[in-house]
Homo-oligomer: A and B are copies of this chain.
């Protein structure tokens, strides 16, 4: 048997009962003959408490010290989980990111993993120990602690699975898999047995919060089999796997809604080469992630440009755009915060052409106005009024029969 990596999220280690339950999961894998590497997140609401304390002391807490503070949460989780495993009669040892040399690019609060020294982990596994690794954290060359940003513990788990050539990376969470859409909005959402990396990447970047983009990217790049499953139930979850040919038969795999976005429209931009590229270059410099870009030429000299940004980045976007107003010469800027994105995702869209039409028809039938439309090879997104977002998602889900398992849909 090989190595298995198990990752437990914050809710799965929130208290001692849940830690014991996670320990039983680990032990079951050991008893099934696996060498087990465990990654844990900070317990429950701890991260929020850190932010509260920090903000009381500094309105904009310095990133290095914030990472120094944050990283203690995962360190506590792995130590406690190790105790529970040892108490059950199995040997275990916990390591911080520093102790197993999770080297990163050193960017505080959003570092990327460059390498992991797996020798120490292998030595412990060979001695029959369960190895626990603190998620979400790494170090730079001077041993400063850096964290990996949102979903960072998933990234740690998938990166470890890649580095250790593990058979599987299990992501234990408070949902029992990945659903066609958010069941809180479309209550008959169906659980997927499997999904491709590309589809999962689109879902994640378009609003699904089960896993974050970075971890999926690492999984895709290193071909890591990721199993998203429930920490409280025994059922199989959803496998994220490389694309298989029969996947294309499923036209739309899932749908998402993204509420915390704002649409920015610039009118009367000089329609000359490089001008629009310059706008996005400046926004990137200010670390504003942009999506849903649409451009309309209103004359040979002038164009309008719309795009969406996360509401958290809206201020940075506004400042940047004001600074470059003269340079790129636009006439007007309008910002609409009361919008939402509704998207459908599916690798089958590459070969099936009726998806856009079906989506727009379902939204029209539900009397939902579409502000802008963007698409990729495997997704279509519409910006709608935020008040209509849930209704829009429900309409789209019904149209694509997302209440049924993939094999049982009509078209």
Interfacial residues, chain A to chain B (CB-CB below 8 A)? 16, 19-20, 50, 53-54, 56-59, 61-62, 64-66, 68-69, 71-73, 75-76, 78-80, 82-84, 86-87, 92-94, 96, 98-99, 143-145
Contacts of A50 in B (CB 8 A): 76
Partner of A80, one of B69, B87, B94: B69
Chain A interface, >50% SS class: helix
Name the residue on B nearest A86 (C-beta).
B62
Contacts of A75 in B (CB 8 A): 68-69, 71-72, 75
Contacts of A71 in B (CB 8 A): 75
Partner of A87, one of B16, B59, B66: B59
Is A65 a contact of B83 with CB atoms below 8 Å? Answer: yes
Closest CB in chain B relative to A7 CB, distance in Å: 19
Contacts of A65 in B (CB 8 A): 79-80, 82-83, 86, 92-94
Partner of A83, one of B58, B86, B87, B98: B58
Contacts of A62 in B (CB 8 A): 82-83, 86
Contacts of A66 in B (CB 8 A): 79, 83
Contacts of A59 in B (CB 8 A): 87
Question: What would 11 A/B residue contacts be, using CB atoms closer than 8 Å?
Answer: A16-B53, A16-B57, A57-B80, A58-B83, A58-B86, A65-B79, A69-B75, A71-B75, A75-B75, A96-B145, A99-B143
Partner of A79, one of B69, B79, B83: B69
A58-B86, A98-B143, A143-B99 as given contacts; A53 in contact with B80, CB under 8 Å = yes
Is B16 a contact of A56 with CB atoms below 8 Å? Answer: yes
Name the residue on B nearest A50 (C-beta).
B76
A19-B57, A54-B80, A80-B53 as given contacts; A68 in contact with B87, CB under 8 Å = no
Closest 7 CB pairs of A and B: A72-B72, A69-B79, A58-B87, A68-B79, A58-B83, A16-B56, A57-B83
Is A58 a contact of B79 with CB atoms below 8 Å? Answer: no
A65-B94, A68-B79, A72-B75 as given contacts; A57 in contact with B99, CB under 8 Å = no
Is B78 a contact of A68 with CB atoms below 8 Å? Answer: yes
Contacts of A79 in B (CB 8 A): 54, 65-66, 68-69
Partner of A98, one of B19, B61, B84, B98: B98
Contacts of A53 in B (CB 8 A): 16, 80
Is A93 a contact of B80 with CB atoms below 8 Å? Answer: no
CA–CA, A343 to B9, complex, Å? 54
Contacts of A54 in B (CB 8 A): 79-80, 83
Is A58 a contact of B76 with CB atoms below 8 Å? Answer: no
Closest CB in chain B relative to A22 CB, distance in Å: 11
Is B58 a contact of A69 with CB atoms below 8 Å? Answer: no
CA–CA, A72 to B134, complex, Å? 12
Is A87 a contact of B144 with CB atoms below 8 Å? Answer: no
Name the residue on B nearest A144 (C-beta).
B99
Contacts of A98 in B (CB 8 A): 98, 143
CA–CA, A80 to B143, complex, Å? 19
